[in-house]
Amino acid sequence: MDFNYTENQSMIAGMIRDFGVKHIKPQMKEWDESQEFPVEVFKKLGELGLMGVLVPTEYGGSGFGYLEYVTAIAELSKIDGSIGLSMAAHNSLCTGHILQFGNEAQKQKYLPKLATAEWIGAWGLTEPNTGSDAGNMRTVAVQDGDHWVINGAKNFITHGKSGNVAVVIVRTGEVGDSHGMTAFVIEKGTPGFSAGRKEDKLGMRASETTELIFEDCRVHQDQILGKVGEGFIQAMKVLDGGRISIAALSLGIAQGAFEAALAYSQERNQFNKPISSFQGIAFKLADMATEIEAASLLTYQAADMKNRGLNVNKESAMAKLYASEVSVRVANEAVQIFGGYGFTKDYPAEKYYRDSKLCTIGEGTSEIQKLVISRAILK
């Protein structure tokens, strides 16, 4: 097994580091404070091919696999988790759903626009009363001839306002029936479809999170992805891949926090010595580095299996569970190593700490990952 970056991974990592210096680092503090979603950054990432990493070249994408995808998200998230989260939601969820389950006409219509970031994509599964229990959703679509009329609301939707197109999963059958839900692809500007309240968040503040509202929203049956009744099953498959991207996001945040803490521990003197010379700090760094390596191995294992077309249901949940918990632990220790300065916005540790917490919640909480893993091993 070769754990080194391939040529493509090295190229992507270098490109993102340069991009971060020019286009992210100078403004990321401002975006974080004002909760601005920097659409122009995503347009530029689109020019670099990073908004359609997994999309085949015939649809305008980069045609890379999951190893390159993990590297791209982790490298971006090392700089700014918000940008990593938005890139993950766009690539894995909205674009990924259309790529996996769209028909040829839908792929031709949407993938080139999404892969180049001409359009930003959103994906709506969660509702105010049904998060972990998404299958219990209440947003409903009722058939009316060749059309369906949708009513209800989704919440916590990444790019709910700025997204040009959204894939949404809504109820078309009985509550409690996993085949009672259907996925629709809906464009911004469709009458009856609008964005609601924008969340004011602890972290990931430059990644936009809003409600989606449906009020007698009429959509043609051609907007259905796959077949009626397949939406929930499709969503679970999309999340199997999506969780690899949240593991990568977690990994990047942990690596960024670790690198900052490592450098600081060698510069900061107390008792006339660098604080890294104290075993209490050195052992923290040893634990952080070890956990990051383990998270990286789980994440790249899931990515490699996904590339080989294997079922990654358990492995992506394991990678997401472990990497996200590591991200929070490492960011927490980074704040500790920075001491009082870690508690201020003059140093990077506090942002990593705030951003890391989303990783144990989004695309299924840690508790839900344990449910997925335990179901797989108890089968």
Ligand X SMILES: Cc1cc2nc3c(=O)[nH]c(=O)nc-3n(C[C@H](O)[C@H](O)[C@H](O)COP(=O)(O)OP(=O)(O)OC[C@H]3O[C@@H](n4cnc5c(N)ncnc54)[C@H](O)[C@@H]3O)c2cc1C
Cα–Cα distance, 353 to 358 (Å, whole number): 10
Burial class (CB in 10 A: 0-12, 13-18, 19+), 264: buried
Question: How many chain residues are in contact with ligand X, going by CB under 6 A?
Answer: 22
Do 178 and 135 touch, CB atoms closer than 8 A? Answer: yes
Do 313 and 233 touch, CB atoms closer than 8 A? Answer: no
Do 155 and 138 touch, CB atoms closer than 8 A? Answer: no
Dihedral sign for Cα 111, 317, 14, 263, please.
positive
Do 230 and 182 touch, CB atoms closer than 8 A? Answer: yes
Residue of 58, 187, 363, 367 marked catalytic: 363
Query: Three-class SS of residue 206?
Result: coil
Closest CB 371 distance from ligand X, rounded Å: 6
Stretch 96-125: interaction string toward ligand X, x if CB under 6 A? ---------------------------xxx
Write out the binding residues for ligand X, residues 80-99 only, by CB under 6 A: 89
Q: Which of 12, 55, 117, 204 binds ligand X (CB under 6 A)?
A: 204
Stretch 322-361: interaction string toward ligand X, x if CB under 6 A? ------------------------------------x--x
Query: Three-class SS of residue 222?
Result: helix
Q: Is 367 in the site for ligand X (CB under 6 A)?
A: yes
Helix axes 313-338, 366-378, angle to 10 degrees: 140
Q: Is 132 in the site for ligand X (CB under 6 A)?
A: yes
Q: Which of 20, 81, 241, 362 binds ligand X (CB under 6 A)?
A: 362
Q: Pick the closer one to ligand X by CB: 113 or 320.
A: 320
| 293 classed as catalytic | no
Q: Which of 355, 363, 369, 372 binds ligand X (CB under 6 A)?
A: 363
Closest-CB residue for ligand X? 131
Interface residues with ligand X (CB under 6 A) are 89, 123-126, 131-132, 156-158, 201, 204, 209, 358, 361-365, 367-368, 371
Q: Which residues are part of the catalytic machinery?
A: 363
